[in-house]
Amino acid sequence: MNFTNFKLSIAKPKTAETLIRLGAFALLAAVIVLMFPRYNNAFRYHFEVGKPWGYNSITADFDFPIYKTDEQMAKEQKQLLSTFTPSYKYIRGAQRQVLVISLSDKERIENEQYSRIAVMQGKVAKTYSLSEVYTPKSAYEHFGYECAQNLVLDTVLTDQMREKLLSTLSPTQGMVQKGEKIVDKGEIVTERTYQVLQSLRRAYDDESLGNRQRTLSILGEAILVVLFLLLFVIYLYVFRLQYLRSTSTVLFFCLQMFIVIALACLALRFNLTVYLIPFAWVPILTRVFFDSRTALYLHFTTILITSVVVPAPVEFFFIQIVVGMVAVSSLSDMTRRAQLVQTAAWILLAQVIAYTAISFAQTGVLTSIDLWIYLYFFICALLTVGCYGLIYTFEKMFRFISSITLVELTDINSELLHTLAERAPGTFQHSMQVSNLAAEAAKTIGANALLVRTGALYHDIGKITDPLYYVENQQGTENPLLEMDPRDAAQVVIAHVTEGEKIARRNHLPEVVINFITSHHGTSLVRYFYNTYCNAHPKEKVDESLFRYPGAKPTTKEGAILMMADAIEARSRSLDDFSEESIAAAVNQMIDTQIADGQFAETPLSFKDVEDIRRVFTARLSAMNHHRISYPTLNK
């Protein structure tokens, strides 16, 4: 027997499809760089009060002022404006013995805590205490007669005077001289240091200083993003080439990264914390449809890219590494909704522990912990549970299949399987036995047992159309195929594959399940009728295409396992001797025939896989057909 072609054979990808996949990564890199927030591009440091400075020592390269904080400016403006006097002018023709203003003006003056007003008399302004100013109502109560309003706010002059007064307030407090040390590596960032660093950042934001730095900063960002994506592509090329050669898979990876990075950039633009963003979506979604290794690698790539722009990147990176590892470890195979809730709970716990530990390690003080972060972690965990809706969306969008869907399809009470059990009970029982055999073999060689079990349950649904043509459903009646020409009989048998595909598509079964239906016989011969016809026409050159299934051949381990299990389960029913030796001989004969016929040439099965499958099938069939003792009758 020849195993030369047993290794996975992947055709060379078309140039257009290759360009699309590479273009997807290139477009993603460009979009990410454009999405990055464009503030503070020339001063690419991230720092917080109470946290250690994680970079090299900073020394001033030029003189720059120390800007006051917003709180300081607000406090000084309030103090300065407390001495301000709004300007009023007399209403022409009004009496001037009593100063009367409107009630709304009086309330505004009191709310703004002004103690005096200025009244223009010609070109001279005279100030009055607020106690000397009345409203029409208070003037009547005080003097006993009505006094009309005679003062109106001069808004133009008042605004001019207010702006002039505020302009005297300096936005800076001191200077940092060129060459002056600002902060050393590892030094805790104090309020004062934070203010100086913010002032340096503001100085860099000056167009006259920041153009060159800003250009170099954007270039650096682009190089980092391209580097991280390139490393991911190299990983796929070396370890997961089948993913890299699938356009839908590449687009799926790119879309995931785009979604979470876009959400992070959006949060940064609106001054929100990135810890609200559920980065766990990436490893969870990837693990549901693919494997743990790829899920972790894609997650690391995503958080590396995001770390370029987030505050406190080291802290962010460590916490998100923990998130990815916990997500993948706690979700080895998602078959129930509750698993996602449990994963979110583990992620929440891991984030809390990681953040607390990092805060203690960096500062050594309890006060460095921001309690709001724990609330953000909780909200993020709730958003992680929302990943369930994305699983369904991506299944439909990219035609993937999740373990949850496979579990739902294996429900034997589903409408399609119930119909198979009613119309073709023998075929249904055969499918159940094949699913058990195939799942056991898949577990042994590390294939997807749930997937092959699902495929086995549906592989013969085409027999629903004419169940009595198949011996397992005849229940002792004559086989109508034996009355037909072997060529016609072969076509009837072959038709269950094409009919099965039609039924599967009408019932909207996933494409991966349909592949089991079309490939479970590969391009093998319907040997019973082929041999019968050859024996009846020994001198005729027989056209084998009349007796061959249309295919295609299986291309996966799961597809090969199903083909073996289907043939061997059917073969075992014709055995007269169910000893282990006879079962092993039947198993070996069927598998050897399929190998010699080239049915597994396009699958990634190894020598060891085939030997393990032989052993499992022999043991399983021996157990299924074990001898039972005869019960003694009761002597009367």
Give domain limits for the chain: 15-35+210-398, 73-166, 403-624
Q: Evaluate if residue 491 carries a pLDDT over 90.
A: yes
Which 8-state DSSP code applies to residue 91?
P
pLDDT the model gives residue 158: 87
Prediction pTM value: 0.68
What SS3 class is residue 558? Answer: helix
Using CA of residue 279, residue 282, residue 288, residue 292, what is the dihedral sign? negative
pLDDT of residue 310: 87
Among candidate residues 372, 387, 385, 562, the one with its CA nearest the CA of residue 460: 562
Q: Point out which residues pair with 121 in neighbouring strands.
A: 124
Reply yes or no on whether the pLDDT at 67 is more than 80. yes
CATH architecture for residues 403-624: Orthogonal Bundle (1.10)
Q: State the burial class of residue 198 (Cβ atoms within 10 Å of its Cβ: 0-12, 13-18, 19+).
A: middle
DSSP string over 452-494:
HHHHHHHTTGGGGSSGGGSGGGTTTS--GGGGS-HHHHHHHHH
CA dist 110 → 19, 82, 86, 106, 529 (Å)? 70, 11, 12, 6, 105
Question: What pLDDT, on the 0 to 100 scale, is given for residue 7?
Answer: 37
- Please tell me whether residue 588 adopts helix, strand or coil conformation: helix
- Cα(353)–Cα(267) distance, rounded to whole angstroms? 24
- Say whether pLDDT at 41 is over 80: no
- Is residue 259 within 8 Å of residue 281, measured between CB atoms? yes
Better-predicted residue by pLDDT, 499 or 13: 499
Model confidence at 131, in pLDDT bands (50, 70, 90)?
Answer: confident
Residue 19 has pLDDT above 80, yes or no: yes
How many CB atoms within 10 Å of residue 367?
A: 8
CA–CA distance from 431 to each of 412, 492, 510 (Å)? 11, 19, 18
Q: Which of 144-148, 156-160, 299-303, 395-399 has the lowest mean pLDDT?
A: 144-148
Q: Cα separation of 547 and 550, whole Å?
A: 9
Least confident of 123-137, 277-291, 440-454, 526-540: 123-137
pLDDT of residue 211: 60
Q: Which pLDDT value is given to residue 615?
A: 95
Lowest mean pLDDT among 359-368, 474-483, 581-590, 608-617: 359-368
Report the distance separating Cα 208 and Cα 525, nearest Å: 80
Q: What pLDDT does residue 423 have?
A: 94
Comparing 47-61, 179-193, 255-269, the range with the smallest average pLDDT is 47-61
Confidence of residue 1 (pLDDT cuts 50, 70, 90): very low
pLDDT in the model for residue 80: 85
* pLDDT for the residue numbered 210: 52
The alpha-carbon radius of gyration of the chain (Å, integer) is: 40
Confidence of residue 575 (pLDDT cuts 50, 70, 90): confident
* Lowest-pLDDT range of 291-295, 333-337, 411-415: 333-337
- Whether residue 469 contacts residue 493, with contact meaning beta carbons closer than 8 Å, is answered with yes
First to last CA, the chain: 61
Per cent of the chain over pLDDT 70 is 91
Position 40 pLDDT exceeds 50: no
Q: What are the phi and psi torsion angles at 159 (to 5°)?
A: -65, -40
Q: What is the mean pLDDT of residues 591-603?
A: 93
Alpha-carbon distance 560 to 598, whole Å? Answer: 11
Mean pLDDT score of the chain: 87
What pLDDT score was predicted for residue 73? Answer: 87
Nearest CA among 69, 52, 67, 57 for reference residue 180 = 57
At 611, which amino acid appears? E
Given a cut of 80, whether residue 334 has pLDDT beyond it is no
Give mean pLDDT, residues 581-592: 92
Least confident segment among 6-10, 292-296, 420-424, 569-573:
6-10
Residue 454 above 50 pLDDT?
yes
pLDDT exceeds 90 at position 336 = no
Confidence class of residue 168 from pLDDT cuts 50, 70 and 90?
confident
Give pLDDT, residue 26. 95
**Stronger pLDDT, 119 or 364, i.e. the higher one:** 119
The predicted structure's pLDDT at residue 487: 93
